[in-house]
Structures are given as C-alpha cells and as structure tokens.
Amino acid sequence: MRSYVMTADAAPPRFIAWGELLWDLFPEGARLGGAAANAAYHAQSLGAQALLVSRVGADELGTRALGELSARGVDVRAIQVDPDAPTGSVRVSFENGEPRYRIDSDVAWDRIAWQSELGASFQRAKVICFGTLAQRSPLGFDAIERALGHAPADAIRLCDLNVREPFATRKIVDHALSLANVVKLNENEVVTLARLFDQPDIVSWLLAERAIELVALTLGARGAVLATPSERLEHPGFPLSSTAGDPVGAGDAFSAALALQLCQKSPLALCLARANHYAAHVASHAGGMPSAATYRLLTSTD
C-alpha cells in the first residue's frame, strides 16, 4: 500500500475525470453538471490541472456546455462531440432536502470512446476519477478500462461510485471496483452495495476482500469517515455558511478535495478535514459548480 504521508509534489497534479457532462434541470432552470464534470471543475478550482473526458451532442446544449466548462478553467479538449446522440440532461427534484435524479438514457456521454491521443494524458495522470454511470453501456466498460491501462502504477484510481437506480447492477459496480484503489461512497450506496453483494459490512469488505487501499464514506451533514486496512478516522463535518444552498455536487467536491490532498501526501486526518470543509462550502451554495473564488483552504492549525 502506498504511503500517504510524504513530501508534497511541487507541480500541480494532473487530475482526469471520466464520465458525465450534462445539464441539471432544476425547477428554476438548467445548470451545468454531471458527477465527472463537477469533480473536474472542483479539482481545477483547488489548483489541479483538470481534464474532463466526456461526450456531448452536436447541439446547442453541447456547445453551451463546452463553452461554460472551458470558461471555468477545465481542459475540454478530450470532450468528444457526438453527431447522433444528444447532450445529456437530468431532472433534479428534492425530497426532505435530498436530491432525486431522473437521468436521460441513450445520450452522448453513454458513448464516450477511447481515443489513442488520450494515452499521453493518462500516462501523466496523478488522479483518475470515475464512477459507475458512464459504465452503464458496454462501450463505457471497455473505454474506461483501456484508459486506465495507460495510467501510472502509482496513480490514484478513485471510484466515486455515484450509484443511481436502475443503473446500479452488480456487474457494473463489480467492474468499477476492480479498477479502483480508492473508493468513495455515501450511506445510501452502502445499503445498495450490501444488497448487491450480500455483505453486512461494506467498508470492511472493500478493504479486505476487494483490496481497496482507502475507503471514504460520506455522511452528509454528519461529516465523513476514512478507512484503510490499518486505521479508521471520523470527522463530524462543518456547518454550512448559508441555508440557501443544496447538496448537489457536494460529494463530487469531497472527492476532488480528498484526491488532491492525497496527491500532496497530507496526513489522512488533514485529508479528511479539508475534504469535509470544501464539501460544506459547495453545499452552502446552489448547484454543483459554485464559484470557489471566496473559498479559504482549511489549514492544519484551524
């Protein structure tokens, strides 16, 4: 298992997110989103060199998505344009303050293809962040596996499960876990995985049976847990700075912040605190990509 407590790298790490770029359709209007796009945006905001591998349609929504994400600083050169399938969208509603999603099928990001020119980017990657949604088609299975085959042996392969019914099949989740060395999931996903794999203690199972090096379990407003084969750390989370926000994208923000702290070889307790802190910042604002311009990084003395 790699050590997470070493001297920090000087150069900004290359963070590659693979998966959805889409439009979140809220009752009040559309906002740019998608778990992979959110993670790339937050990694870029926190100082990484972020590249998103995704696919949009050759339509007005796709053009808008590319323009907006590029304006936010994310490298969009690996986002493919599909001549046939439309840009993806998700209808977002809230129940008891928690988001619910209706995800369109047969859209452009279902058809992300491996392209040989991506190899050089993956060879330089410090982090590759991916989930399960972009693997809901056979094409998605093959493409992400080929991409990870080009990554350095010591790269962080972060699977942010992002399980969404009815796409959470055992085959898809099993394949995603087989490609990861770090896994992030939430309480609802623990329940889903326990059912899919008939395991009463998912965190312990991931560490012992699936050889995952680090598991991050987010608990919403109650913070999060980090677990390795040798230690388990808990953090109660941070209060929100505003009640006008929503939790959309907070988990993606947590993943990006955690991965970058691991790249910097921060102690695990500081990784956990900083990831919680940034997720609370995002949850204090509306939508999955609020500006990080006013965010102050939590220091080890805070």
Give 53-94 pLDDT, tens digit per residue: 999 999 999 999 999 999 999 999 999 999 999 999 988 888
Which residues on adjacent β-strands are paired with residue 16? 51, 128
**Residue % of the chain over a pLDDT of 70:** 93
Q: Distance between CA atoms of 248 and 259, rounded to whole angstroms?
A: 19
Residue 99 predicted with pLDDT over 60: yes
Return the pLDDT at 105. 81
Q: Distance between CA atoms of 147 and 175, rounded to whole angstroms?
A: 14
End-to-end CA distance of the chain: 29
Q: Quick one: DSSP state of residue 260?
A: H
Q: Residue 101 — very low, low, confident or very high, per pLDDT cuts 50/70/90?
A: confident
Q: Distance between CA atoms of 139 and 162, rounded to whole angstroms?
A: 18
Closest alpha carbon to 24 in 86, 103, 141, 84: 103
Q: Residue 137 — very low, low, confident or very high, per pLDDT cuts 50/70/90?
A: low
Alpha helices (H) along the chain: 35-45, 60-71, 119-123, 138-148, 170-178, 187-197, 202-208, 250-263, 268-283
Residue 256 predicted with pLDDT over 60: yes
Averaged pLDDT for residues 184-203: 96
CB 293 within 8 A of CB 263: no
Query: Look-up: residue for tokens 């962040």?
Result: 129
Give 102-125 pLDDT, tens digit per residue: 888 889 999 999 999 999 999 999
Residue 261 predicted with pLDDT over 70: yes
Q: Residue 46 — very low, low, confident or very high, per pLDDT cuts 50/70/90?
A: very high
DSSP 41-86: HHHHHTT-EEEEEEEEESSHHHHHHHHHHHHTT-B-TTEEEESSSP
Q: Which architecture, in CATH terms, is 14-283?
A: 3-Layer(aba) Sandwich (3.40)
